[in-house]
A and B are shown apart, each in its own frame.
Chain A
Protein backbone atom coordinates (compact mmCIF):
# COMPACT_ATOMS: atom_id res chain seq x y z
CA UNK A 1 0.00 0.00 0.00
CA UNK A 2 1.38 3.37 -0.99
CA UNK A 3 0.88 6.59 0.93
CA UNK A 4 -2.53 8.30 1.13
CA UNK A 5 -2.52 12.04 1.66
CA UNK A 6 -5.33 14.36 2.68
CA UNK A 7 -4.99 18.10 3.24
CA UNK A 8 -7.22 20.13 5.54
CA UNK A 9 -7.09 23.68 6.81
CA UNK A 10 -7.09 24.49 10.53
CA UNK A 11 -7.06 28.27 10.75
CA UNK A 12 -4.05 29.33 8.73
CA UNK A 13 -2.28 25.99 9.19
CA UNK A 14 -2.43 23.37 6.46
CA UNK A 15 -2.55 19.93 8.02
CA UNK A 16 -1.56 17.08 5.71
CA UNK A 17 -2.66 13.70 7.05
CA UNK A 18 -0.51 10.91 5.66
CA UNK A 19 -1.17 7.18 5.92
CA UNK A 20 0.61 4.11 4.60
CA UNK A 21 4.16 3.80 3.31
CA UNK A 22 6.44 6.57 2.10
CA UNK A 23 8.92 4.73 -0.10
CA UNK A 24 10.67 5.15 -3.42
CA UNK A 25 8.16 5.46 -6.24
CA UNK A 26 4.57 6.46 -5.91
CA UNK A 27 4.71 7.07 -2.17
CA UNK A 28 7.47 9.63 -2.30
CA UNK A 29 6.26 11.37 -5.47
CA UNK A 30 2.75 11.76 -4.03
CA UNK A 31 4.16 13.56 -1.01
CA UNK A 32 6.29 15.76 -3.23
CA UNK A 33 3.28 16.69 -5.38
CA UNK A 34 1.15 17.49 -2.33
CA UNK A 35 3.81 19.68 -0.78
CA UNK A 36 4.34 21.50 -4.08
CA UNK A 37 0.61 22.16 -4.40
CA UNK A 38 0.55 23.45 -0.82
CA UNK A 39 3.49 25.77 -1.34
CA UNK A 40 2.21 26.92 -4.74
CA UNK A 41 -1.11 27.70 -3.07
CA UNK A 42 0.65 30.20 -0.85
CA UNK A 43 0.30 28.18 2.35
CA UNK A 44 3.24 28.80 4.65
CA UNK A 45 2.32 26.90 7.80
CA UNK A 46 2.38 23.19 7.14
CA UNK A 47 1.85 20.41 9.66
CA UNK A 48 2.57 16.94 8.32
CA UNK A 49 0.70 14.33 10.33
CA UNK A 50 2.58 11.00 10.12
CA UNK A 51 0.41 9.24 12.69
CA UNK A 52 -0.80 6.62 10.22
CA UNK A 53 2.51 6.19 8.41
CA UNK A 54 3.89 2.77 9.24
CA UNK A 55 6.96 2.63 7.02
CA UNK A 56 9.44 5.13 5.58
CA UNK A 57 12.56 4.16 3.63
CA UNK A 58 15.56 6.35 2.83
CA UNK A 59 13.79 7.78 -0.22
CA UNK A 60 10.84 8.70 1.99
CA UNK A 61 13.21 10.37 4.41
CA UNK A 62 14.63 12.26 1.45
CA UNK A 63 11.13 13.41 0.58
CA UNK A 64 10.58 14.68 4.13
CA UNK A 65 13.81 16.66 3.80
CA UNK A 66 12.72 17.94 0.39
CA UNK A 67 9.37 19.00 1.85
CA UNK A 68 11.12 20.81 4.70
CA UNK A 69 13.45 22.62 2.29
CA UNK A 70 10.63 23.50 -0.12
CA UNK A 71 8.41 25.01 2.59
CA UNK A 72 11.30 26.77 4.32
CA UNK A 73 12.58 28.26 1.06
CA UNK A 74 9.11 29.67 0.42
CA UNK A 75 9.31 31.50 3.73
CA UNK A 76 7.16 29.03 5.61
CA UNK A 77 7.48 26.39 8.29
CA UNK A 78 6.97 22.65 8.12
CA UNK A 79 6.50 20.67 11.34
CA UNK A 80 5.82 16.99 11.98
CA UNK A 81 3.01 15.50 14.04
CA UNK A 82 2.36 12.09 15.65
CA UNK A 83 5.54 10.23 14.80
CA UNK A 84 5.49 6.51 15.49
CA UNK A 85 8.34 5.01 17.49
CA UNK A 86 9.84 3.64 14.30
CA UNK A 87 9.74 7.00 12.52
CA UNK A 88 11.19 8.69 15.61
CA UNK A 89 14.01 6.14 15.53
CA UNK A 90 14.67 6.92 11.86
CA UNK A 91 14.97 10.63 12.65
CA UNK A 92 17.37 9.78 15.47
CA UNK A 93 19.50 7.52 13.26
CA UNK A 94 19.67 10.12 10.49
CA UNK A 95 20.15 13.00 12.94
CA UNK A 96 17.15 14.75 11.41
CA UNK A 97 15.60 15.25 14.82
CA UNK A 98 17.89 18.30 14.87
CA UNK A 99 16.14 19.62 11.75
CA UNK A 100 12.45 18.86 12.25
CA UNK A 101 10.23 20.29 14.95
CA UNK A 102 8.06 17.38 16.08
CA UNK A 103 4.81 17.39 18.06
CA UNK A 104 2.56 14.69 19.47
CA UNK A 105 -0.48 16.91 20.05
CA UNK A 106 -2.26 18.55 17.13
CA UNK A 107 -3.71 21.47 19.06
CA UNK A 108 -0.32 22.25 20.54
CA UNK A 109 1.32 21.95 17.16
CA UNK A 110 -1.20 24.35 15.62
CA UNK A 111 -0.61 26.85 18.42
CA UNK A 112 3.16 26.61 17.96
CA UNK A 113 2.90 28.27 14.54
CA UNK A 114 1.55 31.51 15.94
Chain B
Protein backbone atom coordinates (compact mmCIF):
# COMPACT_ATOMS: atom_id res chain seq x y z
CA UNK B 1 0.00 0.00 0.00
CA UNK B 2 1.32 3.45 -0.86
CA UNK B 3 1.45 5.83 2.10
CA UNK B 4 2.60 9.36 1.38
CA UNK B 5 4.28 11.01 4.36
CA UNK B 6 3.47 14.45 2.99
CA UNK B 7 -0.27 14.01 2.62
CA UNK B 8 -0.78 10.96 4.83
CA UNK B 9 -2.91 9.68 2.02
CA UNK B 10 -3.49 6.02 1.15
CA UNK B 11 -4.89 4.89 -2.19
CA UNK B 12 -4.90 1.18 -2.90
CA UNK B 13 -6.67 -1.41 -4.98
CA UNK B 14 -7.02 -4.66 -3.01
CA UNK B 15 -7.66 -8.23 -4.04
CA UNK B 16 -10.82 -9.69 -2.53
CA UNK B 17 -9.05 -11.72 0.13
CA UNK B 18 -8.85 -11.72 3.91
CA UNK B 19 -5.07 -11.24 3.67
CA UNK B 20 -5.75 -7.96 1.87
CA UNK B 21 -8.09 -6.96 4.69
CA UNK B 22 -5.39 -7.62 7.28
CA UNK B 23 -2.77 -5.68 5.34
CA UNK B 24 -5.00 -2.67 4.69
CA UNK B 25 -6.20 -2.55 8.30
CA UNK B 26 -2.61 -2.64 9.51
CA UNK B 27 -1.47 0.16 7.18
CA UNK B 28 -4.38 2.43 8.07
CA UNK B 29 -3.80 1.88 11.79
CA UNK B 30 -0.12 2.72 11.40
CA UNK B 31 -1.17 5.97 9.76
CA UNK B 32 -3.63 6.62 12.59
CA UNK B 33 -0.86 6.03 15.14
CA UNK B 34 1.37 8.55 13.41
CA UNK B 35 -1.55 11.00 13.47
CA UNK B 36 -1.72 10.69 17.24
CA UNK B 37 -4.77 8.46 17.71
CA UNK B 38 -4.43 6.69 21.06
CA UNK B 39 -4.77 2.92 21.53
CA UNK B 40 -8.50 2.99 22.30
CA UNK B 41 -9.23 5.17 19.27
CA UNK B 42 -7.13 2.91 17.05
CA UNK B 43 -8.98 -0.14 18.35
CA UNK B 44 -12.32 1.49 17.52
CA UNK B 45 -11.13 2.66 14.13
CA UNK B 46 -9.69 -0.79 13.42
CA UNK B 47 -12.98 -2.47 14.28
CA UNK B 48 -14.89 -0.19 11.90
CA UNK B 49 -12.33 -0.47 9.08
CA UNK B 50 -12.24 -4.24 9.38
CA UNK B 51 -16.03 -4.49 9.18
CA UNK B 52 -16.08 -2.25 6.10
CA UNK B 53 -13.31 -4.21 4.38
CA UNK B 54 -14.75 -7.62 5.26
CA UNK B 55 -18.16 -6.52 4.01
CA UNK B 56 -16.58 -5.45 0.72
CA UNK B 57 -14.60 -8.68 0.27
CA UNK B 58 -17.18 -11.17 1.56
CA UNK B 59 -20.61 -9.70 0.86
CA UNK B 60 -19.76 -7.24 -1.91
CA UNK B 61 -17.20 -8.97 -4.08
CA UNK B 62 -17.89 -12.44 -2.66
CA UNK B 63 -14.15 -13.27 -2.77
CA UNK B 64 -14.17 -12.91 -6.57
CA UNK B 65 -10.69 -12.89 -8.06
CA UNK B 66 -12.04 -10.60 -10.79
CA UNK B 67 -13.30 -7.92 -8.41
CA UNK B 68 -11.28 -5.43 -6.40
CA UNK B 69 -11.74 -3.33 -3.31
CA UNK B 70 -10.67 0.31 -3.55
CA UNK B 71 -9.47 1.92 -0.31
CA UNK B 72 -8.86 5.64 0.04
CA UNK B 73 -7.66 7.33 3.23
CA UNK B 74 -7.22 11.03 3.92
CA UNK B 75 -6.17 13.01 6.90
CA UNK B 76 -8.69 15.80 7.42
CA UNK B 77 -8.78 18.62 9.92
CA UNK B 78 -11.37 16.72 11.92
CA UNK B 79 -9.57 13.38 11.83
CA UNK B 80 -9.18 10.40 9.52
CA UNK B 81 -11.49 9.64 6.62
CA UNK B 82 -11.62 6.18 5.04
CA UNK B 83 -13.54 5.26 1.90
CA UNK B 84 -14.04 1.59 0.94
CA UNK B 85 -15.60 0.71 -2.43
CA UNK B 86 -16.42 -2.74 -3.72
CA UNK B 87 -17.53 -4.02 -7.13
CA UNK B 88 -20.44 -6.16 -5.98
CA UNK B 89 -24.16 -5.81 -6.62
CA UNK B 90 -24.53 -3.06 -4.05
CA UNK B 91 -27.22 -2.79 -1.43
CA UNK B 92 -29.40 -0.24 0.31
CA UNK B 93 -28.61 0.06 3.98
CA UNK B 94 -32.31 0.47 4.71
CA UNK B 95 -32.86 -3.14 3.62
CA UNK B 96 -30.51 -4.57 6.26
CA UNK B 97 -32.51 -6.17 9.10
CA UNK B 98 -32.12 -4.46 12.49
CA UNK B 99 -29.64 -6.67 14.38
CA UNK B 100 -30.99 -5.37 17.68
CA UNK B 101 -34.55 -6.52 17.01
CA UNK B 102 -35.56 -9.38 19.27
CA UNK B 103 -36.11 -11.75 16.36
CA UNK B 104 -32.62 -11.05 14.98
CA UNK B 105 -30.53 -11.28 18.15
CA UNK B 106 -29.57 -14.90 17.54
CA UNK B 107 -28.67 -14.44 13.89
CA UNK B 108 -25.05 -15.20 13.15
CA UNK B 109 -24.46 -12.25 10.82
CA UNK B 110 -25.74 -8.76 10.09
CA UNK B 111 -23.92 -6.76 12.78
CA UNK B 112 -21.20 -5.14 10.65
CA UNK B 113 -22.92 -1.82 10.06
CA UNK B 114 -24.01 -1.65 13.70
CA UNK B 115 -20.38 -1.99 14.81
CA UNK B 116 -19.18 0.58 12.29
CA UNK B 117 -21.78 3.03 13.59
CA UNK B 118 -20.68 2.35 17.14
CA UNK B 119 -16.98 2.88 16.58
CA UNK B 120 -16.66 5.88 14.25
CA UNK B 121 -18.02 9.41 14.41
CA UNK B 122 -19.45 9.56 10.90
CA UNK B 123 -20.65 6.72 8.67
CA UNK B 124 -22.18 6.81 5.23
CA UNK B 125 -23.13 3.70 3.25
CA UNK B 126 -24.42 4.12 -0.28
CA UNK B 127 -25.02 2.07 -3.36
CA UNK B 128 -22.73 3.31 -6.11
CA UNK B 129 -24.43 4.46 -9.33
CA UNK B 130 -22.72 1.93 -11.59
CA UNK B 131 -21.93 -0.97 -9.30
CA UNK B 132 -21.05 -1.88 -5.76
CA UNK B 133 -21.24 -0.20 -2.40
CA UNK B 134 -19.24 2.70 -0.98
CA UNK B 135 -18.66 3.01 2.75
CA UNK B 136 -17.26 6.26 4.16
CA UNK B 137 -15.97 6.36 7.74
CA UNK B 138 -14.67 9.35 9.70
CA UNK B 139 -12.94 9.02 13.05
CA UNK B 140 -12.38 12.34 14.79
CA UNK B 141 -9.01 13.19 16.25
CA UNK B 142 -8.87 13.82 19.97
CA UNK B 143 -7.24 17.17 19.21
CA UNK B 144 -8.67 19.16 16.29
CA UNK B 145 -6.18 19.62 13.50
CA UNK B 146 -3.99 16.73 14.62
Contact = CB atoms under 8 A, between A and B. Distances in A.
Interface of A: 23-25, 57-59, 61-63, 65-66, 68-69, 86, 90, 93-96, 98-99
Contacts of A90: 115
Contacts of B107: 62, 65
Interface of B is mostly: helix
Contacts of A23: 50
The 7 closest A-B pairs by CB, nearest first: A62-B108, A58-B111, A93-B118, A58-B112, A95-B100, A66-B108, A25-B18
Contacts, number: 48
B43 A58 contact: no
B58 A24 contact: yes
Interface size class of B (residues with CB under 8 A): 10 to 19
Contact of A68 (B47, B51, B100, B106): B106
A57 B54 contact: yes
A65 B106 contact: yes
A94 B116 CA distance: 12
A62 B50 contact: no
B31 to A, nearest CB: 19
B99 interface: yes
Nearest to B108: A62
Contacts of A63: 108
B93 interface: no
B105 interface: yes
Nearest to B117: A93
Interface string B104-126: 01111101101100100000000
Given A61-B111, A62-B107, 16 more contacts: A23-B50, A24-B58, A58-B112, A59-B109, A62-B108, A63-B108, A65-B105, A68-B106, A69-B106, A93-B115, A93-B118, A94-B100, A95-B100, A95-B105, A98-B105, A99-B105
